[in-house]
Amino acid sequence: MSRRQTIGGGVISAGSSRALRLDPFALPVSFAADDIRADARVRVVELSRERVVLRRAVHGIRMAVNVPVAAFQGVALRLIPMDGEGPDVVAVSLEHRDPALCVPLYSAAHSDDVVAEWQLWARVFGLPLLIVDAGGGVREPFRRLGAVRIARPAPRRRRRNVIKHRRPSILMRRSCGTTAPRAVHRDDRELVARN
C-alpha cells in the first residue's frame, strides 16, 4: 500500500519505486496529477514554456484555469517527510502563491538528481530558484539583483583566461619606468629663446 503526501493542491505518490519526472525539453506536455479538491481526485495539467492550463471538475462543474508561467513565483525544492518507515520524498514544483495552482515537476525518494532537475526547470522557465522550508515559507537560496545573482567576484587568473594570449606575460613582471626630469636651466642660463 503506497502512502501519499500533499504538495500544494495536489498529491504526490510516494511508493518505493514510483517517481514523477517530466522532461523539460519535451514541452508542451500534458499529464494527469492527483488533486484532493477535484471530484475524481485527478486534474489534467497542460504545461508549456509560456503557460500552464489546469483542468478539473469540482462538484460537477468542469473548469480550466489558464495561468501564464510568469505569474508563478519560481521553481521550488521541498522535502516531504514520510510517516513511519521509508525515505523522505524530494520534490521539485512550479510554485504559485495559491497552493492549488502549484504544479509538481519531479519527485523521488532519493535525492541524487534533484539539484540538477531543480536548476534545469528554472532555466527552462526563466524563473528563480526557491526553497520551501519546514514551516511552508518560500525563500530564495541565493541573493539576486533583478534577474542576476549576486556573488563575490572571482579573482582574475591570466593563466586560463581568454586574454592570456593578448599580451606577453613578461609585461606583468616588469616594473614601470621613471622619466628623468628635463632640465629647463643650464648653468643659470635659460634655454628658451626670447625676442
* 129-156 pLDDT, tens digit each: 888 887 778 877 776 666 666 667 766 6
Q: Using the predicted structure, report yes or no on whether residue 109 has a pLDDT greater than 80.
A: no
Assigned domain for 161 exists = no
Sign of CA dihedral 117, 123, 125, 127: positive
What distance separates the 2 farthest-apart alpha carbons in the chain? 112
Question: How many domains does one find in the chain?
Answer: 1
In eight-state DSSP terms, residue 96 is -
Mean pLDDT of 79-91: 77
Q: 136 vs 36, 76, 119, 181, CA distance in Å? A: 19, 11, 21, 72
Assigned domain for 189 exists = no
Q: Using the predicted structure, report yes or no on whether residue 13 has a pLDDT greater than 50.
A: no
Assigned domain for 164 exists = no
What 3-state class would DSSP assign to 185? strand
> Locate cell 586574454: which residue?
163
For 144, half-sphere exposure in the C-beta direction (CA atoms, 13 angstrom radius) is: 11
Assigned domain for 182 exists = no
Q: Are 65 and 75 in contact (CB under 8 A)?
A: no
Assigned domain for 176 exists = no
In eight-state DSSP terms, residue 22 is -
- At residue 76, φ and ψ (nearest 5 deg) are -105, 145
Assigned domain for 94 exists = yes
Q: Are 97 and 127 in contact (CB under 8 A)?
A: no
pLDDT tier at 78, thresholds 50, 70, 90 = confident
Q: Using the predicted structure, report yes or no on whether residue 194 has a pLDDT greater than 80.
A: no
State residue 46's pLDDT score. Answer: 92
Q: Facing residues of 64 across strands?
A: 55
Q: Which domain holds residue 107?
A: 4-149
Mean pLDDT of 18-25: 70
Sign of CA dihedral 153, 154, 155, 156: negative
State residue 148's pLDDT score. Answer: 66
Q: What is the mean pLDDT of the chain?
A: 75
Does residue 19 or residue 40 have the better pLDDT? 40
Assigned domain for 183 exists = no
Give the Cα separation of 192 and 117 in Å (integer). Answer: 78
pLDDT tier at 185, thresholds 50, 70, 90 = low
Q: Using the predicted structure, report yes or no on whether residue 53 has a pLDDT greater than 90.
A: yes
Assigned domain for 180 exists = no
